[in-house]
Each structure stands twice: as structure tokens, then as C-alpha cells.
Amino acid sequence: MNAESFNPTDYPDYAIARVLELGDEAAVQWMKETYAEADIRRVLVTERRLSRKSANFWALVYGIAPNDVAALRPPP
């Protein structure tokens, strides 16, 4: 994927997951302005590639039970 041609609206799940995992304060603000809270929550609930640390933090921020967060559940 070429960073210069990357359009975050074409790949919302990827963009949201990367911000949840690696984003600084400015990136998180951009994410919240760019995507609906429902989209952010959906990614948090379905994305298994988040680290346990990031997944746990964002679960607390969004009030999602840990057993509802994909990265915090045991693999199927």
C-alpha cells in the first residue's frame, strides 16, 4: 500500500485499527472527526490484531465489556 495514495475512507477498518493501536492525540482526534463512533466501536469489537494493551484501553474508553472485544477473547 502506497502511503501517498492511501485514502482512509477506502479502508476505514484498517485506518481505525491503526489509530487505535498507534495513534497519538492528534490522530485520535482525526479518527473521531472522520469516522462515526459506531464504526470505531465495530472495529474495536471485531479487530483481533490489536494488542491486548490497546484493546483493553479502548474498551475502557468506550465502555465495552472485555469479553466483547475480539483482541481480548481467546482465539476460536
Tens digits of per-residue pLDDT, 43-70?
999 999 999 999 999 999 999 999 999 9
Asked whether residue 46 is assigned to any structural domain, the reply reads yes
Tens digits of per-residue pLDDT, 21-31?
999 999 999 99
Range of the domain at 17: 12-72
Asked whether residue 64 is assigned to any structural domain, the reply reads yes
Asked whether residue 65 is assigned to any structural domain, the reply reads yes
- pTM for the model stands at 0.87
Domains of the chain: total: 1
Asked whether residue 31 is assigned to any structural domain, the reply reads yes
Q: How far apart are CA 27 and CA 20, in angstroms?
A: 9
